[in-house]
Amino acid sequence: MDLYKQGLRPLLFSGLRADPEWLHRRLIDTLSGLAEADATRNPPLASWVRQQGRRAFCSAHPALSQTLWGLSFQNPVGLAAGFDKDGRVAHLWQDFGFGFAELGTVTLHAQPGNPRPRLFRLPQDLAALNRMGFNNEGAAAMAARLSVSAMPLQDADPSALRFPLGINLGKSKVTPLESAAEDYLGSFRLLQNCGNYFVVNVSSPNTPGLRSLQDADQLDRILGLLQQENAGQKPLLVKIAPDLDEGEIADILALCQTHHLAGIIATNTTVQRDRLHTQRLPTTGKLLTEEAGGISGAPLRQRSTEIIRLIYQKTSGTLPIIGVGGIFTAEDAWEKITAGASLVQVYTGWFYEGPWMVRRILDGLAQKLEAHGLSHIARAIGCKA
């Protein structure tokens, strides 16, 4: 399991000196080819590869399963939005041990995103800096892909039916802020039959003005339109920034109650640069304080957990929380769950720790339950809040 960190990671990070986004794209292309081969029932080879992946990366613990929003989660560890932006390999993520996956961020209009380079590793900080800018093929393209791919995969593998897929919705860059609500609504209408739950992303720092949509008046209109269309059919969540103050979070929680949201995701990337070891980006030669984008990974761990605990306390545990930010180990996941998160998500930690990471976290969580005398993960949620 340490072969990745001792051998492959140094080669990918330092030896090849490849652009992180290029490597990410190659991984998605490879997995997409495997998914297409399996969907056509072409060869036993594709099925064999998937089976070997499950044996290596998956770990089943009944005590970690739970039902939330009427959905069955085999375990609480999911893949965060941003990794599979266009849903190209949606149902393959379960082969890496994940209990669910969140696709996107997807926008109503296809868009190329921000100029490259736009994704940077910060190894000294176990972090990443990204300013991708919601690059994606658009909501219609995702809807077409998921509609075509869902049935063959589910016929071939019934477990796909028990693998919840979330869809993270963002605002198109070309859409004015005053028309943001209609933009989100357009995406939701195209995709509402393709996802098990939906997330309103108003917290990315990489689309101009997007974070202003966290303002109560702006967010109120977006959530109102979406819930009117949704009519309670699909769980709707909102994803917030770690840079909000307590009053701003309280305003959002009030809107969650008003619009009967199913939950909240805490948190997105941070624009803070304090306490980082990395001072200058080797790729550009500029000081990190001069570089646009959001920081993810280990520097976000403490702040995201603080916000999870705050939300849990303010809602008395009645609003389910998906915790994300700086999860690398079972201890990190346990910290967020005991602070109040029902589910957790990973992204940056996964490319630092490698494909065995989820299995290590799941085995570690099972051990934590046993060590604390708890029979089920539900009993751990918020127990230290």
- Burial class from Cβ neighbours inside 10 Å (0-12, 13-18, 19+) for residue 80 reads buried
Q: How far apart are CA 385 and CA 383, in angstroms?
A: 6
Q: Binding site residues for substrate, as ranges?
A: 85, 130-134, 201, 206, 268-269
Cβ-based neighbour number of residue 283 at 10 Å: 15
Joined tokens for residue 10: 């140094």
The side-by-side arrangement of strands in the sheet containing 294-297 is 119-122, 127-130, 294-297
| Contact by Cβ (8 Å): 137, 105 | no
Q: Binding site residues, as ranges?
A: 81-85, 105, 130-134, 168, 201, 206, 239, 267-269, 297, 326, 347-348
Q: Tell me, what amino acid is at 342?
A: S
Q: Tokens 């917030």 — which residue?
A: 240
Q: How far apart are CA 287 and CA 284, in angstroms?
A: 9
Q: Tell me, what amino acid is at 162?
A: R
Q: How far apart are CA 169 and CA 90, in angstroms?
A: 16
Q: How far apart are CA 170 and CA 200, in angstroms?
A: 7
153-154-158-161 Cα dihedral, nearest 10 degrees? 120
Q: Tokens 């917290």 — which residue?
A: 203
Q: Is 204 noted as a catalytic residue in this protein?
A: yes
Q: Binding site residues for FMN, as ranges?
A: 81-85, 105, 168, 201, 239, 267, 297, 326, 347-348
- Of residues 187, 203, 204, 304, which has the active-site annotation? 204
**Bridge partners of residue 104, in order along the sequence:** 168
| Contact by Cβ (8 Å): 295, 124 | no
Q: What are the two backbone dihedrals, phi and then psi, of residue 30, each rounded to the nearest 5 degrees?
A: -65, -45
- Burial class from Cβ neighbours inside 10 Å (0-12, 13-18, 19+) for residue 72 reads middle
| Contact by Cβ (8 Å): 343, 279 | no
| Contact by Cβ (8 Å): 99, 341 | no
**Bridge partners of residue 72, in order along the sequence:** 67
Joined tokens for residue 365: 């969580």
Catalytic residues: 204
